[in-house]
């Protein structure tokens, strides 16, 4: 009986091993793990740029906006030109909105699903490159659980990185299938590769690195007559990359036409020399995050390097050169060009983010920019772990190898689960950024704004005054502190700061729908209702699809005792976003002021159905009963 149990157990283990060695099952399990560890994010709110990029963005409201998206920048309601041309990501957002409206659960679900798909594609891609099942599985596992991916997975606006990576890998896989396919399907695979590359370009700027990676792949893995001839390898690699380069050129032309510039520099950007001197320390910062992903946040600060004799230049330069030499030596020693290919992948795919002049001074590093480049890192780490198995001492002690992998996996999963919580809401995002990167002024002023919105204006004032001392010409800080002063009853200071904000950025506050809406809100808080109405009517005229403009115009009309006109504006806002906070409460107030108690009560109940804890409804219902 005991012998039968042992045999049955052995047979069961073999069956499990065989099951796990099935690529489709193994890849699916790793992708499922990528989804499972981010399940808590499904309950997260819209945070940070989500308000502008999703909630207040008229482009995401309807499929009829697609032609407009192709000819607009991502944040066109804030700025006529703007820095981002990402129409395919807008189309992705329209899909989200058509499925879920503004229910954050659905948006986060699709964001996490993108990460799971990207993880599965990493596994398929590495197997297609003949990296081996073990390395492919290890790399996909590390990609799934690495904490550096929290930002693009937990933050809806950063889903563009995940989507671009899915499209980038799909482009490469379609090309590899074209390379290997018989005559019957070659054209179809090539066209699919062109299509997904075009979509990737229209999703995020870093997709433009694909032709370079394709060139490197053809150079390192030549075919046919080009295998042993340098000139032949070069010619073949160039010819294969050319169609993709032409597509990238068409994208750059369209981008320049829409944005009026292919690349836009920040208003306070560093010069070319300082940028070149700063790049090594930025690269080292990215490598540090990959190797030691702790203290992750959205607001790192890297001081520019102003001298080539500074240790902050010399140490990173020698460090980067040493790492590059090590990867080259490892690739040669192992006889594995994939090691060199993925070492280059890491830096080439990161390259677009190293044009530091497009960022405000010091604000150069973002976790999300590592999503695509990190594929190179996880491959190298997986290859290093797999090579340990070939060391004689470790080969005799497999338990030690498995323990190392288990410890690394547990640490990464723990880091991912514990740090994703900081993306739950605005207050946590900005508090985390301010505590981890106090030098970053964006974190300071955003935290001040979040505290003000949550009814803590005294704390907000301290932070915003600190931010203004650091950057006296910052229009956002001036506008925000104006709103806080207004809430504190410091009316004259509020008026002064509002005027200063408008003077610092007249193009925004006087000529864009979003800027006019914000200015109208500020003027209304100062009881300057005539000017507020004028601003908000201009905002509605510029962008009829802006629910916020209609809503705040309705509030001004309500406060000037014009409930019927206010109701019309509120209903326009309901048609755009029926679940927005306070919208049905405002409609109820307009009905109540017109003497329709039953209609008002119905709207209040609708508001509570969407927002059960809204305190405004209770007060309004009491006034209705009285």
DSSP-assigned letters across all residues of 85-139: --HHHHHHHHHHHHHHTT-HHHHHHHHHHHHHHHHHHHHHHHHHTT--HHHHHHH
Which residues in the chain show pLDDT less than 50?
Answer: 1-10, 16
pLDDT at residue number 506: 92
Do the Cβ atoms of 313 and 281 come closer than 8 Å?
A: yes
CA 68 to CA 257: how far, in whole Å? Answer: 14
8 CB contacts (<8 Å, ≥6 apart)? Answer: none
Torsional sign, CA 85, 116, 58, 268: negative
What's the distance, CA 4 to chain centroid?
A: 56
H helix intervals, 488-528: 491-504, 506-511, 513-525
Provide the angle, in degrees to the nearest 10, between the axes of the packed helices 583-593 and 547-559: 30
Q: Which residue has the tokens 């340098």?
A: 230
Compute the half-sphere exposure of residue 45: CA atoms within 13 Å on the CB side of its CA.
11
Task: Map residue 528 onto helix, strand or coil.
Answer: coil
Specify the length of the chain in residues: 626
Q: Say how many Å lie between the first and final Cα of the chain, rounded.
A: 83
CA quadruple 275, 277, 280, 283: dihedral, nearest 10: -20
How far apart, in whole angstroms, are the C-alpha atoms of residue 383 and residue 345?
15
Question: Which class for 12: exposed (0-12), middle (13-18), buried (19 or more C-beta within 10 A)?
Answer: exposed
- Residue 79 pLDDT: 64
CA 190, 195, 201: angle at the middle one, nearest 5?
A: 125
Token readout for 327 is 């990867």
Q: What is the secondary structure of 32-90 as a DSSP string?
A: HHHHHTTGGGGGPPP-TTHIIIIIT-GGGS-GGGHHHHTTS-TTTTT-SS-S---HHHH
Which residue has 């996909």 as its token pair?
140
Tokens of residue 163, six digits: 């989507």
Return the exposure string of 452-472: e unless at least 16 CB atoms fall within 10 Å of the residue's CB, then b: beeeebeebbebbeebbeebe
Do the Cβ atoms of 110 and 93 come closer than 8 Å? no
* pLDDT for 284: 96
- Spatial separation of the C-alpha atoms in residues 497 and 508, rounded to whole Å: 16
Alpha carbons 284 and 288: distance in angstroms, whole number: 6
Classify burial at 149, counting beta carbons within 10 Å of its beta carbon; exposed 0-12, middle 13-18, buried 19 or more. Answer: buried
Considering only CA atoms, which of 213, 129, 175 is closest in space to residue 383? 129
Radius of gyration of the chain (CA): 28
Cβ proximity of 275 and 97 under 8 Å: no
The per-residue pLDDT for 81 is: 59
- 300 and 437 Cβ atoms separated by less than 8 Å: yes
For position 229, what pLDDT does the model report? Answer: 72
**What is the rounded CA–CA span in Å between residue 233 and residue 242?**
14
List the structure tokens of 557: 């009309």
Residue 526's φ and ψ, nearest 5 degrees, are -95, 5
């Amino acid at each position: 009986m005991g012998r039968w149990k042992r045999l049955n157990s052995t047979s069961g283990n073999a069956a499990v091993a065989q099951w796990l060695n099935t690529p489709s099952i193994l890849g699916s399990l790793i992708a499922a793990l990528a989804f499972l560890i981010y399940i808590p994010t499904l309950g997260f709110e819209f945070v940070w740029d989500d308000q502008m990029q999703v909630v207040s963005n008229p482009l995401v409201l309807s499929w009829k906006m697609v032609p407009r998206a192709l000819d607009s920048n991502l944040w066109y309601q804030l700025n006529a030109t703007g820095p981002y041309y990402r129409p395919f990501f807008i189309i992705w957002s329209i899909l989200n909105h058509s499925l879920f409206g503004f229910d954050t659960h659905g948006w986060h679900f699709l964001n996490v699903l993108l990460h799971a798909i990207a993880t599965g594609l990493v596994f398929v891609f590495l197997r297609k490159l003949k990296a081996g099942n073990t390395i492919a599985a290890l790399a996909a596992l590390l990609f799934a659980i690495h904490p550096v991916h929290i930002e693009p997975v937990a933050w809806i606006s950063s889903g563009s990185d995940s989507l671009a990576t899915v499209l980038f890998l799909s482009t490469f896989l379609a090309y590899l299938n074209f390379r290997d396919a018989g005559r019957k399907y070659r054209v179809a695979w090539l066209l699919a590769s062109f299509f997904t590359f075009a979509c990737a370009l229209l999703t995020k700027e870093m997709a433009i690195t694909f032709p370079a990676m394709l060139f490197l792949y053809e150079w390192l893995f030549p075919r046919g007559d080009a295998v042993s001839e340098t000139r032949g390898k070069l010619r073949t690699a160039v010819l294969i990359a050319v169609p993709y380069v032409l597509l990238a050129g068409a994208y750059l032309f369209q981008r320049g036409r829409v944005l009026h510039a292919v690349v836009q520099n920040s208003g306070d950007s560093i010069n070319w020399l300082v940028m070149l001197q700063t790049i090594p320390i930025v690269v080292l910062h990215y490598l540090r995050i990959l190797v030691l992903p702790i203290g992750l946040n959205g607001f790192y600060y890297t001081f520019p390097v102003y001298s080539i004799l500074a240790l902050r230049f010399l140490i990173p330069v020698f460090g980067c050169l040493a790492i590059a030499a090590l990867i080259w030596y490892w690739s040669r020693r192992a006889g594995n060009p994939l090691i060199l290919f993925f070492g280059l992948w890491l830096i080439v795919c990161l390259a677009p983010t190293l044009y530091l002049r497009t960022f405000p001074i010091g604000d150069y590093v973002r976790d999300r920019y590592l999503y695509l480049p990190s594929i190179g890192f996880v491959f190298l780490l997986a290859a290093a772990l797999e090579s340990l198995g070939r060391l004689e001492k470790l080969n005799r002690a497999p338990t030690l190898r498995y323990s190392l992998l288990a410890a690394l996996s547990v640490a990464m999963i723990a880091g991912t689960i514990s740090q994703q919580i900081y993306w739950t809401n605005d207050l946590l995002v900005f508090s985390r950024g301010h505590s981890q990167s106090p030098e970053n002024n964006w974190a300071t002023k955003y935290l001040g704004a979040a505290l003000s919105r949550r009814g803590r204006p005294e704390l907000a004032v301290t932070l915003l005054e600190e931010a203004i001392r650091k950057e006296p010409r910052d229009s956002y800080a001036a506008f925000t502190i104006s709103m806080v002063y207004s809430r504190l009853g410091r009316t004259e200071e509020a008026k002064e700061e509002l005027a200063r904000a408008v003077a610092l950025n007249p193009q925004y506050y006087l000529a864009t729908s979003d800027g006019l809406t914000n200015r109208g809100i500020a003027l209304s808080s100062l009881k300057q209702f005539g000017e507020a109405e004028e601003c908000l009517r201009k905002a509605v005229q510029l962008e009829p699809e802006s629910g916020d403009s209609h809503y705040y115009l309705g509030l001004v009309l309500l406060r000037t005792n014009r409930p019927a006109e206010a109701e019309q504006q509120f209903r326009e806002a309901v048609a755009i976003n029926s679940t927005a906070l306070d919208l049905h409460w405002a409609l109820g107030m307009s009905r109540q002021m017109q003497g329709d108690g039953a209609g008002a009560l119905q709207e209040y109940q609708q508001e509570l159905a969407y927002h059960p804890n809204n305190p405004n409804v209770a007060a309004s219902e009491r006034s209705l009963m009285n």
